[in-house]
Structure 1
Amino acid sequence: MPTILIVDDEADIRQLLRLYLQNDGYELLEASNGEEALQYVETHPIDLMLLDVMMPKRDGFSTVQAVRQAGHTFPVLMLTAKQEDLDKIQGLTFGADDYIGKPFNPLEVLARIKAMLRRVQQYHPPVAASALQVGPFTLRADERLILKHHTPLALTRREFDVFALLLTHPKRVFPAEELYERIWQEEALGSATNAVMVLMHKLREKVEDSPKQPRHLQTVWGVGYKVEP
């Protein structure tokens, strides 16, 4: 069953939603503020987020904006006590897919969730079991294919091999020498680190929205390279 992340600072609201959603068979995660929610998003597969607007530490608007900037495309249903059109427009502008006002009918929330998940399944079929999802990237190793937001990346053989290795070990830092010996299959001598640096520069041009300020393919100065989801 799909996994739903409930984000609301009111425990009684989370409890009410939990009762109805668990009864319908959904897997649940819960957060009491936006900071906790973003931690779950980076460490757990999420199929849909129920997101309150007014919360401490980080409100719903900045949370959904951060989710989208990180490349996550799962639907977000905002729960808001604010009924002004400007607030609704702001939420949709930042990346929410729909909103529902408080107080709400839990049965209506369930109906909205089912409709949103149906749309996702219609337009984005489930990723094959052999595929690996890391942030906005999908690695299909059997096909030697990497996609970003469902769009294939045009990579050379070595670019694919390097990026695939990093994607299969997110957050792990690989020294340039290790990358060279694994991918080039030669001992890392002399200009080996320069060869890796040049390849990384070209790879960032293809995988990053802003290559000069990389979000995913990062350099750990003096150590090596890693992928951040």
Structure 2
Amino acid sequence: MMKKILVVDDEPSISMLIEYNLKSSGFNVMSVSDGEAVFDAVNTFRPDLIVLDLMLPKVDGFQVCKQLRTSGNMVPIIMLTALHDLSDKIAGLDIGADDYMTKPFSPQELVSRIQAILRRAAAFPPLTENEPLTIGSIEIQPEQRQVTLEGRPVELTPKEFDLLLFLLKHQGKVLSRQQLLRGVWDYHFLGDTRIVDVHISHLRDKIEKNARNPEYIVTIRNVGYKLTDPSSREAAAR
């Protein structure tokens, strides 16, 4: 089935360029030009992914993303920004965006990013057996895409869930940022791997007792990250 992409940008030339390249790549595309129109479009068009500009009339991209996530809508979002400050990009990730691209950008790279995110979404089909995966006090139900910590539900974004699941599948192995980009985002991030650090930070805030001194997701200096079982370390120390 043809995947549906909602393009949200108030610059007609950019919107038309994106739409042309997406349609040429086999996507069903709908475009709107302001943030307020997104919510009706989401309900009627039901996109598989949203390409969302930050600087929009009526309701800006930050607020659109925040409202969608607050309402429980976890459709993947790629943010487009003319802002080059890293703090602005991180702010987008903070409120639940899956990825960002800075203007000017390559339309072909945008298509590749979209295809990568959709491949990752398709890579987690319902399992025939719904055996929970556990590490320490964390339990993951892959089919329901649910996580609990000490029996309490943990609200993760789709990308945070994918990242935790990928780390768990490689438990105890040191993974570089590039390996995480390939495994979780399904592409080589050109020149900037801080998107991994931002998502790791968010994940730590949700599953660690002390995010500054993590027990689960350990930083391996100058290399990357490793998921460890704190209960195993405690037992070994006795």
TM class by shorter chain equals 0.5 to 0.7
Distance 2:85 2:145 in 1: 35
Structure 2 residue aligned with 1:225: none
SS across alignment from 1:33: coil
Distance 1:82 1:123 in 2: 33
Task: Could you list the structure 1 runs, at least 4 aligned residues long, displaced by more than 6 angstroms after superposition.
Answer: none
Q: How does 1:69-80 map to 2 (within 5 A)?
A: 69-80=70-81
Structure 2 residue aligned with 1:111: 112
Distance 1:93 1:39 in 2: 24
Distance 1:124 1:65 in 2: 26
1:61 aligns with 2:67: no
Matched AA of 1:88: K
Structure 2 residue aligned with 1:45: 46
Structure 1 residue aligned with 2:28: 27
1:12 aligns with 2:18: no
Shift of 1:9: 0.5
Gaps of 5+ in 1: 126-148, 152-229
Scaled by the length of structure 2, what TM-score is found?
Answer: 0.52
Shift of 1:124: 4.8
Distance 1:118 1:5 in 2: 17
Distance 1:124 1:46 in 2: 18
Structure 2 residue aligned with 1:154: none
Identity of aligned residues (%): 43
Distance 2:76 2:45 in 1: 15
SS across alignment from 2:79: strand
Structure 1 residue aligned with 2:4: 3
Q: How does 1:165-184 map to 2 (within 5 A)?
A: none
Q: CA deviation digits over 1:45-68, x for unaligned, max 9?
A: 210000000111011000011111
Distance 1:35 1:43 in 2: 14
Q: How does 1:141-152 map to 2 (within 5 A)?
A: none
Q: Against the structure 1 CA distance between its residues 5 and 39, is the aligned structure 2 distance closer, same or farther, given a 3 Å change threshold?
A: same
Distance 2:68 2:125 in 1: 18
Structure 1 residue aligned with 2:149: none
Scaled by the length of structure 1, what TM-score is found?
Answer: 0.54
Shift of 1:42: 2.1
Shift of 1:150: 5.3
Shift of 1:44: 2.4
Larger Rg computed on CA atoms: 1
Matched AA of 1:72: N
Matched AA of 1:78: M
Structure 2 residue aligned with 1:171: none
Shift of 1:74: 1.6
Matched AA of 1:3: K
Q: CA deviation digits over 1:66-103, x for unaligned, max 9?
A: 11112111210000000101101100011100000001
SS across alignment from 1:92: helix
Distance 1:32 1:62 in 2: 15
Question: How many pairs are equivalent?
Answer: 129
Distance 2:83 2:44 in 1: 30
Shift of 1:22: 0.5
SS across alignment from 2:97: coil
Distance 1:121 1:11 in 2: 31
